[in-house]
Amino acid sequence: MTVYLVGAGPGDPGLLTVRGRELVESADALVYDRLADPRIVALAPPSAEMVYAGKRPGDHAMTQEAINARLLELGGRHERVVRLKGGDPFIFGRGGEEALALAGAGIPFEVVPGISSAYAVPAYAGIPVTQRGSAAQVTFVTGHEDPSKPDSDLDWASLAATPGTLVFLMGVGALAANAARLIEHGMPPDTPAAVISNGTRPAQRTVVAPLAGIARAAEGMRPPAITLVGAVAALHEQLAWYERRPLHGKRVVVTRARAQASGLAARLEALGAEVVQAPAIRIEPLPFAPPDLAAYDIVVVTSGNGVDLLLPGDVRALHGTRVAAIGPATVAALRARGIVADVVPPEAVSESLLAALGDVGGRRVLVATAEGAREVLPDGLRERGARVDVLPLYRTVPEPVSADAVRGADLVTFTSSSTVTNLVAALRDGGLDGLAAASIGPVTSATLRECGVEPLVEADPHDVEGLLDAVLRALA
């Protein structure tokens, strides 16, 4: 049995170390802090015992002594206990105290360092903590000392005279007092200073001002925040990159099924958005007898889900059969199985595929689709003389959605009619009233209008790439 003191990094899940991720994903028990990003906490197995040990000023879920005791207790009955701490466990993280408690009890432990907010947060704000010619050294300082101590452990005169960069972790509540102490002990009032709140997260905000005015400039900024003092703070204006991404500060809701949402969510996050995953549907496979694909002249698949279910293995049965696909995701799913679609319509709708297929008189056609899908395609094929079999492979099932997760967002993305109707059902009272909606295409837009919502923007082309472009048009 081992207790692992794991640094979760400053917030951005992409900054979690490979070793840290391995341990979280295999933990028998997880003890996590307030600053551990929920997306990192969610990596723990469903079977893991979860213990919240978060602290905020004046509100501690557990005291440090209680945390130490809980680690000893968990370490005595689990093989792998992960203590997940924001930033790095040994940089103002009290990880040393927890390690001492474990060592004293004879419980094996390991330390997995994390990327510290002390340098990662300034980097996300475009502020290098060292810079040739202006900052040859950096000093990390706690900005929040134990309030029960009669005197400060910090040598303010030395800090005020220290060249280079000072980085105060925590302590945004003591910002005015700390700035005043530095000036009182000789630091020039016009020294550049910066406060960065929610560093490396979608809500990151940076203010830069002279030391004498930094407390006023940062009024209203709340923890987690760090304060940086030194000439390098002035580089923020030139080097800021994170907060200049086109969707920074925007909250975008993704309603598509969770299994499909990760790609869209990741693209939106890369553009700076705060993404809320509120899947209004999930995909539920249906039982079906595998068809004899060689008996058909044309096989039509309408989604990547359909490809996965219809062609789970050997695809040689398609030899000599024309394959038609609606949408680039379907084309990509076929290509992953070594199949190049013979017919791909210019628009990802059934009407466009009908036109692209041309003369189908007398042909046997299989349409592999979702239960309850529109009848436009099979009906149109029959009208043109085709012999059509429709094979429902899956159904979309409503998922519960929190109204708080959706309302108040800058934009809600809809990738199918089912995401619209199921979200309306989930929200109940008020439906989609007041929502700013981005639609993937005309069919989804029509469903939105039926529900009383005029889409703010519609994708063109009608696919995920087009939806991303539409979101940028609407919000950037």
Contacts for 155 with CB less than 8 Å, ≥ 6 apart: none
How many whole angstroms separate alpha carbon 296 and alpha carbon 324? 12
Domain 2-114 in this protein, CATH class: alpha beta
Contacts for 373 with CB less than 8 Å, ≥ 6 apart: 302, 392
Residue with tokens 């994170």: 242
Q: Any idea where the domains of the chain sit in the sequence?
A: 2-114, 119-243, 251-280+399-475, 283-397
Q: Give pLDDT, residue 106.
A: 95
Query: Residue 358 burial by CB count (10 A; 0-12/13-18/19+): exposed, middle or buried?
Result: exposed
How many whole angstroms separate alpha carbon 131 and alpha carbon 125? 15
Instruction: Kindly indicate whether the domain formed by 119-243 is annotated with CATH number 3.40.50.300.
Output: no
Q: Give pLDDT, residue 458.
A: 95
CB 87 within 8 A of CB 8: yes
CATH architecture classification, 251-280+399-475: 3-Layer(aba) Sandwich (3.40)
How many whole angstroms separate alpha carbon 364 and alpha carbon 381? 10
To 5 degrees, how large is the angle CA 343–CA 346–CA 350?
75
To 5 degrees, how large is the angle CA 467–CA 369–CA 346?
45
- Does this chain's domain 251-280+399-475 share its CATH topology with 283-397? yes
How many whole angstroms separate alpha carbon 163 and alpha carbon 135? 7
What's the Rg (C-alpha) of the chain?
28
Our CA dihedral for 435, 436, 438, 441, rounded to 10 degrees, sits at 70
Catalytic residues: 33, 55, 170
Sequence length of the chain is 476
Q: What is the full per-residue pLDDT of the chain (476 aa) written as tens digits? A: 899 999 999 999 999 999 999 999 999 999 999 888 988 999 999 999 999 998 766 566 789 999 999 999 999 999 999 999 999 999 988 999 999 999 999 999 999 999 999 999 999 999 999 999 999 999 999 876 655 566 678 999 999 999 999 999 988 889 999 999 999 999 999 999 999 999 999 999 999 999 999 999 999 998 899 999 999 999 999 999 999 999 999 999 998 877 666 788 889 999 999 998 888 778 899 999 999 999 999 999 998 889 989 988 777 878 889 999 998 889 989 999 899 999 999 888 888 999 999 999 999 999 999 998 889 999 999 999 999 999 999 998 877 777 777 878 999 999 888 889 888 887 776 667 788 999 999 999 999 999 989 999 999 888 888 999 999 999 97
Count of alpha carbons within 13 Å of 62, Cβ hemisphere only? 16
How many whole angstroms separate alpha carbon 440 and alpha carbon 297? 30
Contacts for 129 with CB less than 8 Å, ≥ 6 apart: 118, 119, 122, 123, 135, 138, 165, 167, 228, 232
| 362 to 62, 102, 388: CA distances (angstroms) | 73, 77, 10
Q: Give pLDDT, residue 364.
A: 96
Other CB atoms within 10 A of residue 398 CB: 17
Q: Give pLDDT, residue 427.
A: 79
Other CB atoms within 10 A of residue 344 CB: 19
Domain 283-397 in this protein, CATH class: alpha beta
Report the chain's terminal Cα–Cα distance, integer Å: 50
Q: Using alpha carbons, select from 413, 459, 418, 415 the residue that is nearest to residue 435.
A: 413
